[in-house]
Structure 1
Amino acid sequence: MKLKDLIMMALKNLNSRKLRTALTVLGVVIGATSIIVMLSIGFGFQKINTDMYKSMGDLTTLDLHTDMFWSDEQEKEASKKKKTLNDQAINEIKRIPHVIAIMPMYKASAVFTSGRFSNNGVDIVAIPADAMEKFGFKIGEGRLLNSQDNSGGVVMSFGCANENFRDDKRPYINSTGKIQALKSRIEIKQFQVQNSNNEYSGGSYFDEDGFERKSYVEKLKVVGVLEENPNDWSNYNTTYMTIEYFKKLKKASETVNGKTSALKAYSNIKVKVDDMENVDAVQKQIKDLGYNATNMYAEFLKQGNQQIVIIQAVFGAIGAISFLVAAIGITNTMIMSIYERTKEIGVMKVIGASIKDIEKLFLVEAGFIGLFGGFLGVISSLLLSALFNKLAEGFIMSEIGSANVDPKISYIPFWLILIALLFSTAIGVISGYLPARRAMKLSALEAIRSD
């Protein structure tokens, strides 16, 4: 019997028993919908987690620190092997597979002034001139750093440029709308370099009576302001400059006090990995070299997703019970069909239908029940998912408060739809296997004589 004939006969048989077929399909619909919706909620929260931590920092970037140990005993033992974050470290890390960019950093603090407005405690970060483009910095106004800025030129974070300048006479009033970073005259002073121990060189710029000491002052050339990102709190009040300009400011600031020192090590080194899947492997190789490589946001994301997977497994198991009930329903329907069609089966055998054809017929019928149920289950799941997302959108946004996060608590990827259709069809075929075997074993003569 040709496949086309099997399909047409199977559809005809299912159509002749509309109510029973519909009720059996309904069981599959409930099972498929339960599993898809349960899993989609887990995927939704995983996506929200990923978007949220991506907005805080790059999940494919590792931060290198010198110290690998936390306890006092380990610290003493490690001090003998302590490795410096210098150019040698950069050359070692460059050879690691999947590393696509390295950004060494010097850090400092400074005070910015613009007329009667000032921004105290600005975090200065010095990086290579081409690093911003490689590490995906997003500019909101002006441009990113380049080699033209080696002699002077900085890029400010949105918070540094727009939210942290205060009126010295009215310190609780910010400068929003009054300081335009790219146009206003802004000066830098009290430049203090941060060493590898997170300490600042140069001492205090205030005497014992609280009066400000003399410090080097230079007009800043602001070439750009980054996009606003309220989740990137670690760089909220940061200004970026090239390493060459940083060294120039350091030398000028130290010359005022008559003390100069050399930069012995980078404050930090960021390593860009080509894909999130390779981050753990690269992190392990860097640690094997003797450096402490971390990504705080990726670790938080991993921990959060592990908890979601556990909850997702519990919900999926609950949905699987519905599918088990649906499978029993398909089996029952097919067995009842055999009892009702015993004479038909006997006639088919007498006129030359092979037992394999009879088996295939019942398997195709059962498979169609699973397929129809899976298809309707996918449609109902998409509708329920859209409803859940609409109802929860306001709550999610109020809790997270980020425009960079898609507030969908239910997310159904395309591959889940395909798997749901294949799985429901497979459940139908498996459920119809025993009834099909029973139909094969019926005696043709006994079947014809049956009432």
Structure 2
Amino acid sequence: MRFLDYLGLVFYNLGRRKGRVALTAIGVVIGTAAVVVLVALASGLQRNATRQFSQVGNLTLITVYPKYGEGMVVMPGGGSSGGSGQSQIKLLTPQAIAEISAIDGVAQVIPRDTLRGGARLVAGKMETYPFIMAYDTPDFSVFNYQMKEGVSELKRGEALVGESLAKGFNDPRWRPGQPQPEQPEIVGKQLKLVVQKFSQDGTMTERVYSVRIAGIIKQRMDETDYGMIMRMDDLTQMNEWLTGKRINRNKEGYDMFYVKTTDTKKTTEVSKQINDLGYQAYSQMEFVQSVNNFYTIIQIVFGGIGAIALLVAAIGIANTMTMAILERTREIGLMKAVGATNRDVMSIFLGEAGGIGLIGGIGGVMLAWGLAQIINVLAASYLSNPMPYGGEPPGPATYIAPWLPLFALVFSTLVGVISGLYPALRAATMVPVMALKYE
């Protein structure tokens, strides 16, 4: 028999018993929908988690710190001195910038330093105490800062401040019972930055710098919220006044580096190579991968729970096909008498069982799509309130990957074929004479 003949006969036989086929297929519909919806829900949670992490930080950025350990002392410039028990320090010097920049996949190395003393930012009668840091780059868009006001590009003598810091000015002369002072408008304004240092005898000395606020960074739930970001040359000048000497980066290095990779897929490998060079590297992508692995396990568990419903449906298919064989015993004998082989008979019954699985799979995918849309609408209405710490609201609660419907159809059809295997073997091995005599 030709394949089209098999196909036509299979659908003809299924159409003869529409009610029984429909009731059996409903079990497959429920099982397939359960698998698709549960896996889609886990996928949606995974995508939302990754999306939230990417909003907090750039997944192409790697944080690099100096390496401290035990053993040989690593001197700046490549020199070393032996001795067990001595502390090992691998500094973040200009030589380290050259080493890291040579790694394949590194787009940019950005040194970072912090103020080595105390400071207060003064706007008229109001003041606040920022955490001051600087990056050796004129444009901070590499950090994916979302600006509440102003711009992220800095010129000499300019700075960015976090949203929480901009809202945290207070009047030191304010007393209880007085009206609360309004927060000053600081974007585009020249403010005073008073830097303080203490001598060995405890005497405090202050120096005033003029700083223009170029912009305010939206709240990110990290150090930038209460931070003030400056250019590296401006901060170096302040630190040299605080320490009373010129800063030699070849000997003192930087506090840390930010390494930007060309692609998120290369972030983990670049981080590993930086660690192999002897530095301490960490990327948020490593944590994201751990989260992805966790959600992959969740998808498998959810899919297994849904597959239980398909197992129940498989029993129903096996029962339906067994009953069909009993009802069509004489038909099977007649088919064999006119020349049908065991393979022909087995193929027909396997095709019918697989057809029930395919019909149920199509219905299950359609039902799952509808349920996923309902879940997304309900989740969107529940999460419609603004986020308490800023940022965009979560995306759809469920996500049906392109491969998932195809997998569901193949899996449901395969379940049907396997369920009909025993009844088909039983039909194929019938003796034609005994089948024709069956009442």
Match of residue 428 from structure 2: 440
The yes-or-no answer on 1:319 pairing with 2:306 is yes
Distance 1:376 1:204 in 2: 79
Tell me how far 1:395 sits from its aligned partner.
5.6
User: Structure 1 407/396 Cα, relative in aligned 2: closer, same or farther at 3 Å?
Assistant: farther
User: Structure 1 400/427 Cα, relative in aligned 2: closer, same or farther at 3 Å?
Assistant: farther
Match of residue 366 from structure 1: 353
What stretches of structure 2 of length at least 5 have no aligned partner?
71-82
User: Structure 1 376/354 Cα, relative in aligned 2: closer, same or farther at 3 Å?
Assistant: same
User: So what's the TM-score if we normalise by structure 2?
Assistant: 0.82
Distance 1:357 1:278 in 2: 54
Match of residue 12 from structure 2: 12
Match of residue 98 from structure 1: 105
Aligned 8 A contact 1:205 1:213 in 2: no
Tell me how far 1:347 sits from its aligned partner.
3.2
The yes-or-no answer on 1:143 pairing with 2:151 is yes
Distance 1:267 1:394 in 2: 45
The yes-or-no answer on 1:241 pairing with 2:248 is no
The yes-or-no answer on 1:85 pairing with 2:85 is no
Distance 1:29 1:18 in 2: 16
What SS does the aligned partner of 2:428 have?
A: helix
Distance 2:135 2:273 in 1: 26
Distance 2:84 2:49 in 1: 38
Distance 1:434 1:410 in 2: 38
User: Structure 1 40/399 Cα, relative in aligned 2: closer, same or farther at 3 Å?
Assistant: farther
Distance 2:25 2:291 in 1: 37
Aligned 8 A contact 1:41 1:410 in 2: yes
Alignment of 1:31-430 (within 5 A): 31-67=31-67, 80-108=87-115, 110-130=119-139, 132-145=140-153, 149=155, 151-160=156-165, 162-170=166-174, 173=180, 175-176=182-183, 178-182=184-188, 184-190=189-195, 202-203=197-198, 213-218=205-210, 220-226=211-217, 228=218, 230-251=219-240, 253-254=241-242, 260-263=246-249, 264-295=252-283, 297-298=284-285, 300-302=287-289, 304-305=291-292, 307-393=294-380, 401=388, 402-406=390-394, 408-430=396-418
What SS does the aligned partner of 2:208 have?
A: coil
Question: Quick check: 234-243 or 307-316, which moved more?
Answer: 307-316
Aligned 8 A contact 1:145 1:154 in 2: no
User: Structure 1 171/355 Cα, relative in aligned 2: closer, same or farther at 3 Å?
Assistant: farther
- Which amino acid letter does the alignment assign opposite residue 36 of structure 2? I
User: So what's the TM-score if we normalise by structure 1?
Assistant: 0.80
Question: Quick check: 44-53 or 282-291, which moved more?
Answer: 44-53
Distance 1:78 1:393 in 2: 58
Percent of aligned positions that are identical? 31
- Which amino acid letter does the alignment assign opposite residue 372 of structure 1? I
User: Structure 1 206/319 Cα, relative in aligned 2: closer, same or farther at 3 Å?
Assistant: farther
Tell me how far 1:293 sits from its aligned partner.
0.9
Tell me how far 1:286 sits from its aligned partner.
1.6
Distance 1:97 1:341 in 2: 69
Distance 1:102 1:238 in 2: 21
Alignment of 1:25-36 (within 5 A): 25-36=25-36
Distance 1:225 1:154 in 2: 9
- Which amino acid letter does the alignment assign opposite residue 43 of structure 2? F
Q: Please identify which structure carries the higher strand content.
A: 2
Tell me how far 1:269 sits from its aligned partner.
0.6
What stretches of structure 1 of length at least 5 have no aligned partner?
71-75, 192-201
